[in-house]
Chains A and B, each alone.
Chain A
Amino acid sequence: MKEFFEYTASLIKGLGVTLKYLCRPAVTLQYPKQRWTPPERYRGRVALRPKKCISCQMCARACPNNCLEVKFNVGDDKKRKLTEFVYHIDTCLFCGLCAEPCPTSAIFMNHDYELAVCDRKDLIVDLVKVDSYVE
């Protein structure tokens, strides 16, 4: 008999829980219409501020998957000048290790998470040419 009352009480408790959730707002986002705001330190795609880059290649060395290629010319004043910054999004694991050692904060992770493309080739981009300067 004691069990019976315990079970009945737990049934009512369960109904209470679902009623509480019924009254709460839903967590679903209607995706294409509503967008999610990523948190401040969210790691999306790698982006570059080309003017700041000094072609030191610290980022390329730090990358565990070797998905960054920094190509540059050495000018007459022996300064390196960035010509190409190839980024393989398909092998990138979005760890952010490239952005950490950058001495000039030229490379950073932006908030872009919609990375689907129709062709695999589109996943290999030149960050100097591409308008990747999306904060």
Chain B
Amino acid sequence: MDTMPTGSLTGAQKEELMDQVKQQIAIANAQELLTKMSEKCFKKCISKPGTSLDNSEQKCIAMCMDRYMDAWNLVSRTYSSRIQRERNNM
């Protein structure tokens, strides 16, 4: 991207820039989730790495991924309602 001052961006260019930023953020978050899930589910499901991922390991990993997502969403809900509560107390 060139170093044009933002003051001279057109409305459409600004929209594009904001979309790009949002997309980059989404990618970064997906990568973080992927890294964490791999680490956590490897730990939970692969006790002794064999020559391939066997059926039961795959099942365990699939379940572990779903539970990790559940946990993530629960943490997100809990944290945001805590923020809300603190804000009301101020």
Are A and B part of the same complex?
no
